[in-house]
């Protein structure tokens, strides 16, 4: 036959008695490497003259190890059939004895070389047998034994009752059969047989603890090596199964769940066996399983983000998607297939967590650009806890919470690098933006400036991203950006001062100078708001930097307001020169010019932002009233009669109402200035001294910067020369001045009379001023008759009229 011919049989003729044909004298298996020979003393001969050595070799090469012949070396004596050879197919088996195995290397070579030749030989034999059957014709029907014994027409006797057969003893599998179970992924059965083989090895070695193989004699060493090799093959299949089941459900989801269930059963069996083995010999397959899960997770993550074109942010997004996908597979399909006691989901989660920690640690050790460091910190602090761990019941894990992906030192180092880079980059970028904007200040074209917007965008890019990572990092970044902003504003202030000090630029930009100044003022509010916001977010030590930034902006705003106010009042000065004269009493022309000019210029000032506009209008309101009251207190007009005082007071009230309407239309919030001119008009018009005292007291209370010299000048204007009355009125101002002597002077924006200097009187000091201080003989000296009033000695001293 072809199979026997391929194995070296000399002739294809087989006797009907079932004996083997004579084999060729040359053995085709003698040159196969690794083939082991049995001992010479245990060999017999077959009817065709060949030895049992050839028969044993045929079994191994033809894959008939599961049909091992009943004859076993070493068991010839004592058996019922000693000395009688068994048939080639091994119909008589010896139960209870584990058949020896061939080496794994020989099995691999035979399985690799035998596949094609066996298929070809089997196919050729089948074709020949089919041809022979066609030649013989159909097979004749054989008459049964019952038909031969029982005559026709009679009922067949009942068959004898079946005697139950004795239970067959379970025959232990050979090593090759256990290996076949492993390759077929019947892992739980294979592990059971491995444990039995390990127990046999333990019994043969004298009852020692099972575990790694120990070479003690030829038989014991061979069996221990078989156990070790089988465990290696089993673990290879187990860990391969871990990798394959993570790849996704695929078409064989049910089969995969069954394989995972077998994997879990193997782990449970081995954990129980480790309890019997003891701590020194435990194989710890459960720990190796966790390591295999971690390796598979590492491979999955590395395959998900090998090098995305979008940089580190794209790689982190790919990792997030892979984590959600794989943990969904574990939660929905793999974890339920494991035994509950293994905590499978926690093992997989820790495996992915550890693999991700290694990936992020390797990324953090590289020199990353600033944007990638931001992305890494944000993903570590926010995305992973919220979008990955937020979907997992971490509290239910057996060993508590998961650790941090990156160590606190690594996170702190990344934050320090970010702060350092931001400090260097923002300073250089802010100076570059300022230089580019300054180049357009001297241009005659009306160029819109975006300086404040550019500065805010440069800093807000960092101050908005850092707090989203962590509150502490946001504080550090806010403090860093606030320091850079304070330095920028100090440089900005210096450049604005140089711009306004350059008179040539003012003459060159006669038409656009006001517009350029308003543009510079408009930079203040957004930058001030940014500084305030950074100070609120930053640590307590941010206050000095905030004050420096606010001070620089205040100086820039005051300088620009003063420049604009000076330009406006230079135009208004001719109209103010016409006030407090005789023409002013009869004609409102002077005040109409003031109101008209202020109203026209206010249209250009509307381009200013609200905060600096309100401050400028308040300053214009204050300065307009100061310039209005200044000529009154300088004595341009003297009232020698009650009728004149009444006319002057009425005119003052009318002008005050007109100015109040103007600045209310300009949206001035300096309402504290509305009452100053009416109070002065009341002092001029009232006749009785007590009423004047009351009005002076109200004036001193509302305007603390008024002094006795201002009240005295007002009394001179109304023509009050009565010494006693003057003394009583000035005493009110003196008492209030002394009571508030320790108080601080009003702020600059609330000062009014302090900006109105009063000329020192040159009239003769009256006699009652020096009674009790100087003698009459000394008053008669001409050198003392007219003294400049350096310091009033007493409020009761009257002033001499010119």
At 452 the pLDDT is: 93
Higher-confidence residue: 25 or 449?
A: 449
- pLDDT tens for 22-68 read 334 444 334 434 333 333 333 444 444 444 343 343 344 344 344 33
Residues of the chain with CATH 1.10.357.50: 411-560
CB 269 within 8 A of CB 191: yes
Single pTM value for the model: 0.66
Whether 221 has a pLDDT exceeding 80, the answer reads no
Angle at which helices 513-522 and 524-537 cross, to 10°: 10
CB count in 10 Å sphere of residue 188: 16
CATH no., domain 411-560: 1.10.357.50
Question: ∠ at Cα 559 (555, 564), nearest 5°?
Answer: 150
Q: What is the pLDDT of residue 151?
A: 56
Q: What is the pLDDT of residue 372?
A: 93
* Helix-then-strand count for the chain, H and E: 28, 0
Label residue 171 left, alpha or beta by phi (over 0 means left) and psi (-120 to 50 means alpha): beta
CATH number 1.10.357.70 is the correct assignment for the domain at 579-750 = yes
Would you state the pLDDT for residue 59?
A: 40
In the predicted structure, residue 794 carries a pLDDT above the cut 50: no
From residue 85, alpha-carbon distances to 63, 78, 509, 756 in Å are 20, 15, 126, 141
Say what the pLDDT of residue 141 is: 56
Q: Provide the CA 9 distance to its chain's centre, in angstroms.
A: 77
Helix pair angle (524-537, 610-633), 10° resolution = 120
Q: Between 241 and 65, whose confidence is greater?
A: 241
Token output for 683:
């002092």
Q: Using alpha carbons only, what angle is made at residue 308 by residues 305 and 314, rounded to the nearest 5 degrees? A: 85
Confidence of residue 520 (pLDDT cuts 50, 70, 90): very high
Element (DSSP H or E) covering residue 653: helix 642-665
Percent helix, strand and coil across the chain, each to the nearest 5: 65, 0, 35
Using the predicted structure, report yes or no on whether residue 536 has a pLDDT greater than 80.
yes
Q: Exposure string (b/e) for 582-599, b if CB count within 10 Å is 16 or more?
A: eebeeeeebbebbbebbe
Tokens in use for 58? 């045929």
Tokens representing 111? Answer: 């399985």
Count of CA atoms in the C-beta half-sphere (13 A) of 465: 21
Give the number of other CB atoms < 10 A from CB of residue 476: 18
In the chain, residues under CATH classification 1.10.357.70 are 579-750
Pairwise CA distance, residues 284 & 282, whole Å: 6
Mean pLDDT for the stretch of residues 366-377? 93
Question: Over the stretch 157-191, which tens digit does the pLDDT of each residue have?
Answer: 666 676 666 655 566 788 899 999 999 989 999 99
In this prediction, residue 657 has a pLDDT band, given cuts at 50, 70 and 90, of very high
Mean pLDDT of 243-266: 75
* Average predicted confidence (pLDDT) for the chain: 76
């Amino acid at each position: 036959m072809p199979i026997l011919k391929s194995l070296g049989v000399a002739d294809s003729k087989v006797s009907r008695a079932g004996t083997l044909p004579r084999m060729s004298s040359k053995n085709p298996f003698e040159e196969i490497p690794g083939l082991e020979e049995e001992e010479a003393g245990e060999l017999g001969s077959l009817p065709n003259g060949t030895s049992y050595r050839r028969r044993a070799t045929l079994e191994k090469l033809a894959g008939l190890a599961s049909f091992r012949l009943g004859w076993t070396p070493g068991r010839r004596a004592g058996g019922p059939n000693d000395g009688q050879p068994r048939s080639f197919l091994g119909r008589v088996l010896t139960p209870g004895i584990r058949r020896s195995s061939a080496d794994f290397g020989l099995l691999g070579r035979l399985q690799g070389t035998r596949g094609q030749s066996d298929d070809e030989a089997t196919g050729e034999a089948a074709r020949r047998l089919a041809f022979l059957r066609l030649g013989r014709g159909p097979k004749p029907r054989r008459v049964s034994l019952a038909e031969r014994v029982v005559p026709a027409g009679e009922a067949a006797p009942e068959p004898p009752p079946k005697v139950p057969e004795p239970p067959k003893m379970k025959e232990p599998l050979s090593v090759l059969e256990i290996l076949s179970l492993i390759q077929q992924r019947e892992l739980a059965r294979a592990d059971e047989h491995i444990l039995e083989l390990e127990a046999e090895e333990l019994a043969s070695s004298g009852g020692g603890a099972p575990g790694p193989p120990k070479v003690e004699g030829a038989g014991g060493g061979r069996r221990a090596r078989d156990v070790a090799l089988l465990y290696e093959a089993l673990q290879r299949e187990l860990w391969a199964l871990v990798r394959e089941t993570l790849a996704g459900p695929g078409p064989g989801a049910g089969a995969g769940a069954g394989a995972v269930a077998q994997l879990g059963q193997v782990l449970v069996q081995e954990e129980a066996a480790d309890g019997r083995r003891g701590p020194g010999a435990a194989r710890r397959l459960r720990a190796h399983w966790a390591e295999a899960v971690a390796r598979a997770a590492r491979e999955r993550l590395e395959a998900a983000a090998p090098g995305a074109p979008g940089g580190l942010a794209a790689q982190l997004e790919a990792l997030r998607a892979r984590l959600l996908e794989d943990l969904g597979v574990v939660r929905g399909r793999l974890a339920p297939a494991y035994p509950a006691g293994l905590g499978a989901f926690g093992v997989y989660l820790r495996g992915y967590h550890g693999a991700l920690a290694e990936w992020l640690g390797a990324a953090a050790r590289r020199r990353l650009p600033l944007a990638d460091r931001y992305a890494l910190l944000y993903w570590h602090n926010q995305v992973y806890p919220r979008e990955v761990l937020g979907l997992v019941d971490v509290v239910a894990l057996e060993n508590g919470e998961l650790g941090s992906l990156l160590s606190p030192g690594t996170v702190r180092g990344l934050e320090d690098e970010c702060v350092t880079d931001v400090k260097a980059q923002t300073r250089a970028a802010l100076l570059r933006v300022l230089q580019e904007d300054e180049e357009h200040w001297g241009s005659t074209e009306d160029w819109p400036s975006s300086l404040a917007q550019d500065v805010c965008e440069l800093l807000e890019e960092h101050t908005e991203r850092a707090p989203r990572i962590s509150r502490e990092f946001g504080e550090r970044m806010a403090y860093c950006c606030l320091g850079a902003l304070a330095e920028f504003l100090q440089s900005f202030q210096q450049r604005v001062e140089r711009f306004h000090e350059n008179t040539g630029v003012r003459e060159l930009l006669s038409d656009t100078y006001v517009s350029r100044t308003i543009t510079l003022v408009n930079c203040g509010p957004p930058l001030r708001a940014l500084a305030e916001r950074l100070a609120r977010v930053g640590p307590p030590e941010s206050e000095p930097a905030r004050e420096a930034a606010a001070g620089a902006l205040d100086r820039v705003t005051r300088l620009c307001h003063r420049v604009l106010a000076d330009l406006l009042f230079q135009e208004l000065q001719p109209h103010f020169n016409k006030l407090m004269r005789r023409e002013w009493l009869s004609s409102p022309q002077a005040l109409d010019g003031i109101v008209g000019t202020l109203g026209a210029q206010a249209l250009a000032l509307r381009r200013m932002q609200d905060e600096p506009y309100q401050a400028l209008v308040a300053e214009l309101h204050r300065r307009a009233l100061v310039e209005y009251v200044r000529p009154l207190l300088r004595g341009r007009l003297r009232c020698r009669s009650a009728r004149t005082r009444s006319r002057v007071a009425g005119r003052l009230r009318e002008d005050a109402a007109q100015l109040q309407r103007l600045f209310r239309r300009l949206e001035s919030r300096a309402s504290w200035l509305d009452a100053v001119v009416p109070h002065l008009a009341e002092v001029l018009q009232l006749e009785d001294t007590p009423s004047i005292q009351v009005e002076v007291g109200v004036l001193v209370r509302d305007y603390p910067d008024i002094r006795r010299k201002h009240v005295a000048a007002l009394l001179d204007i109304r023509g009050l020369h009565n010494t006693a009355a003057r003394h009583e009125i000035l005493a009110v101002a003196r008492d209030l001045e002394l009571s508030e002597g320790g108080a601080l002077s009003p702020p600059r924006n609330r000062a009014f009379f302090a900006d109105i200097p009063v000329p020192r009187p040159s009239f003769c000091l009256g006699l009652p001023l020096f009674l009790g201080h100087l003698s009459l003989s000394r008053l008669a000296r001409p050198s003392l008759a007219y003294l400049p009033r350096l310091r009033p000695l007493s409020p009761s001293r009257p002033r001499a009229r010119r």
